[in-house]
């Protein structure tokens, strides 16, 4: 853009009937300062969704699919297990549509997530961190059975991958229409993004390589060990390859049924392990050098994309999925090195003029 011209906007050309109509159509943004020369690296910024994460998509589709099928009755309570983003998305949807929501969440996940859900009117039931994701999952199922509530079942429902096939994938196809797209990089939580994207990319852009990332110390898929399941497709127990990791939203302690489709059909070309500390590092770099704020999961995805970029041929085009925003991680390792008080350099700047100094 010409630096001499002021930026202008023209409006979206439409009025929205509710916040739910603003879900999707998230922008693809070029990474200019971090990408190697000759490489076009982009990120799909899912934090532009109204509740600031990719999980807004599955949240609205789970509820609306259940409304269409009659599985969710007017005024019925919705219950779900979540590490945070799905719960926040569901809380937004339920607030707009008038459903009570109860969320179960292990107490190891960031405090700001539970506060956001409560701000949106949800009840948050904490489960012991020692019981991991399977514990919060079992608690949600237990509550649903006891009270006759609607269990959202994000890890099993077809509504999850379907919405990414219908929206996320179609947006990427439109944004890169007539252009090359060599790699798409994503992590997995439920597996909905990967599964939905792969259905479209394998069919319509088979030359695009899909790269899947998972935590180095919770490399469930890399282990080659199958997930033990209950008859309804849920996890029967914690996967033996799981260890606690800091990449919230990625890789619960089981392989979700939604992800299993992509595993069974080998819907990815590469599987890459990435350390949580590397995700933290790249999330910070993205903020400081590009002005793009994402969480540890987005940083980890970018780290894998950068690894590809470092050895790729000139002209290669890479897209990395950024699931959410850094503000979901204020009480996590992402912000541990970010001070609240002024550091020495800031104090020096303050003292360079005589007035209005802190005591």
pLDDT tens, N- to C-terminus, the chain (359 residues):
566 889 999 999 999 999 999 999 999 999 999 999 999 999 999 999 999 999 999 999 999 999 999 999 999 999 999 988 999 999 999 999 999 999 999 998 889 999 999 999 999 999 999 998 899 999 999 999 999 999 999 999 999 999 999 999 999 999 999 999 999 999 999 999 999 999 999 999 999 999 999 999 999 999 999 999 999 999 999 999 999 999 998 999 999 999 999 999 999 999 999 999 999 999 999 999 999 999 999 999 999 999 999 999 999 999 999 999 999 999 999 999 899 999 999 999 999 999 998 87
β pairing state of 28-31 and 40-45: antiparallel
- CA distance linking residue 163 with residue 197, whole number of Å: 10
Instruction: Find the catalytic residue in 83, 110, 198, 297.
Output: 297
From residue 137, how far is each of 80, 154, 293 by CA, in Å?
Answer: 8, 10, 30
- Give the DSSP letter of residue 13: S
* pLDDT in the model for residue 108: 87
* pLDDT in the model for residue 354: 94
Instruction: Find the catalytic residue in 44, 55, 132, 139.
Output: 55
Residue 8: how many other CB atoms lie within 10 Å: 5
- Give the DSSP letter of residue 324: B
Q: Would residue 55 show up in a list of annotated catalytic residues for this protein?
A: yes
Q: Would residue 297 show up in a list of annotated catalytic residues for this protein?
A: yes
Residue the block writes with tokens 């020495």: 344
* pLDDT in the model for residue 24: 98
Domains, the chain, with CATH or none = 19-48+168-335 (3.40.50.1100), 55-151 (3.40.50.1100)
CB of 127 closer than 8 Å to CB of 139: yes
CB of 187 closer than 8 Å to CB of 297: yes
* pLDDT in the model for residue 1: 57
* Rg, C-alpha atoms of the chain: 21
What is this structure's pTM? 0.95
* pLDDT in the model for residue 83: 84
């Amino acid at each position: 853009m010409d630096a001499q011209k002021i930026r202008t906007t023209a409006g979206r050309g439409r009025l929205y009937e509710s916040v739910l109509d603003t879900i999707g159509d998230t922008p693809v943004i070029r990474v200019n300062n971090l990408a190697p020369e000759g490489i076009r690296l982009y990120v799909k910024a899912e934090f532009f969704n109204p509740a600031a994460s990719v999980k807004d998509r599955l949240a609205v589709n789970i509820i609306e699919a259940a409304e269409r099928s009659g599985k969710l009755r007017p005024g019925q309570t919705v219950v779900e297990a979540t590490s945070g983003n799905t719960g926040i998305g569901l809380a937004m949807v339920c607030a707009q549509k008038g459903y009570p929501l109860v969320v179960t969440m292990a107490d190891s996940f960031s405090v700001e997530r539970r506060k956001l859900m409560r701000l949106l009117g949800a009840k948050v039931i904490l489960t012991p961190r020692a019981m991991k994701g399977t514990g919060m999952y079992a608690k949600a199922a237990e509550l649903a059975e006891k009270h006759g509530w609607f269990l959202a079942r994000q890890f099993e429902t077809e509504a999850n991958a379907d919405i990414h096939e219908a929206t996320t994938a179609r947006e990427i196809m439109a944004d890169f229409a007539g252009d090359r797209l060599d790699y798409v990089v994503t992590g997995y939580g439920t597996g909905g993004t990967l599964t939905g994207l792969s259905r479209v990319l394998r069919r319509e852009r088979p030359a695009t390589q899909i790269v899947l990332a998972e935590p180095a110390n919770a490399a469930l898929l890399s282990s080659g060990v199958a997930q033990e399941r209950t008859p309804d497709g849920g996890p029967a127990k914690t996967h033996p390859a799981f260890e606690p990791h800091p990449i919230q939203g990625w890789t619960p302690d089981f392989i979700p049924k939604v992800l299993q489709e992509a595993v069974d059909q080998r819907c990815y070309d590469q599987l890459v392990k990435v350390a949580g500390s590397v995700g933290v590092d790249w999330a910070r770099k993205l903020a400081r050098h590009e002005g793009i704020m994402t969480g540890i999961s987005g940083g980890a995805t970018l780290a894998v994309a950068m690894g590809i970029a470092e050895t790729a041929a000139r002209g290669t085009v890479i897209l990395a999925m950024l699931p959410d925003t850094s503000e979901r991680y204020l009480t996590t390792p992402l912000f541990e090195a970010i001070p609240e008080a002024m550091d020495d350099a800031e104090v020096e700047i303050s003292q360079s003029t005589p007035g209005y100094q802190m005591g």
